[in-house]
């Protein structure tokens, strides 16, 4: 998909505002500049950044209740999906927390948050404190079993987990079905026919 087509989807289908799109453009500009010095995203994905990273992250806004209080992005990397969701958010009482172990990526995330005045903050170790999140999101982080283990151990309150998975999604889902009683829904990704969005409700 071309950039203009993706922006059209963001604004018309996913309800990103014109101001949101401008922030996304600035975010991409900063990211591509910093990626020349640090490996924040794969070099091969730079040319398809709007589809591979922005739209892939943005598509989950339809599954998020922005009236909740705290969203935790586990393994945020260069800010996907967490920063994209924080840019979309309009609720002053809704907060996004980005968990990232790489010091270089944490510095980058803090820089973007400051430059673009995004309501979010950055944390290091997900095991340091209870997450206390209403919603947990994750993209290209760990296997499903490990994410659910973190959810059980570090986030005691009822919450939703939204996980973006790539080409091995179905294999992980099949394996998970044998080891958990969690109920979940599977949605198709709009960016890749092999990818899935897996949504858990943890009570």
CATH (domain of 66): 3.40.50.150
Q: Is residue 108 part of a domain?
A: yes
For residue 21, tell me if it sits in a domain: no
**In angstroms, rounded to a whole number, what is the distance separating the alpha carbons of residues 72 and 184?**
19
What pLDDT sits at residue 129?
A: 77
| Residue 36 pLDDT greater than 90, yes or no | yes
Q: Does residue 88 lie within any of the structural domains? A: yes
Residue 70 lies in a domain: yes
Residue 38 included in any domain:
no
How confident is the model at residue 201, as a pLDDT? 87
Residue 30 lies in a domain: no
Per residue in 69-120, pLDDT (tens digit) is: 899 999 999 999 999 999 999 999 999 999 999 999 999 999 999 999 999 9
Structure token digits, residue 114: 């400051």
Q: Which domain holds residue 137?
A: 57-202
Domains identified in the chain, total number: 1
pLDDT in tens, 156-190: 778 999 999 987 777 877 777 655 667 889 999 99
H or E stretch at 74: strand 70-74
Asked, for residue 137, whether it belongs to a domain, the answer is yes
Does some domain include residue 149?
yes
Q: What is the mean pLDDT of the chain?
A: 92
Give the tokens for residue 187: 């949605």
């Amino acid at each position: 998909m071309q950039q203009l087509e993706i922006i059209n989807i963001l604004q018309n289908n996913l309800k990103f505002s014109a101001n949101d799109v401008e922030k996304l453009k600035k975010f991409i500009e900063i990211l591509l500049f910093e990626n020349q010095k640090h490996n924040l995203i794969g070099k091969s994905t730079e040319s398809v950044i709007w589809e591979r990273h922005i739209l892939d992250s943005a598509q989950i806004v339809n599954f998020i209740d922005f009236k909740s209080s705290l969203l935790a992005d586990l393994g945020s990397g260069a800010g996907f999906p967490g920063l994209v969701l924080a840019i979309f958010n309009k609720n002053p009482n809704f907060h996004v927390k980005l968990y990232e172990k790489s010091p270089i990526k944490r510095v980058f995330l803090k820089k973007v948050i400051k430059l673009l005045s995004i309501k979010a903050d950055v944390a290091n170790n997900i095991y340091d404190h209870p997450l206390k999140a209403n919603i947990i999101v994750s993209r290209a982080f760990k296997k499903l079993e490990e994410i659910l283990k973190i959810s059980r151990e570090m986030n005691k309150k009822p919450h939703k987990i939204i996980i973006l998975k790539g080409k091995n999604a179905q294999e992980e889902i099949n394996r998970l079905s044998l080891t958990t009683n969690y109920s979940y829904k599977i949605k198709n990704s709009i960016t890749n026919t092999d990818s899935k969005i897996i949504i858990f409700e943890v009570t």
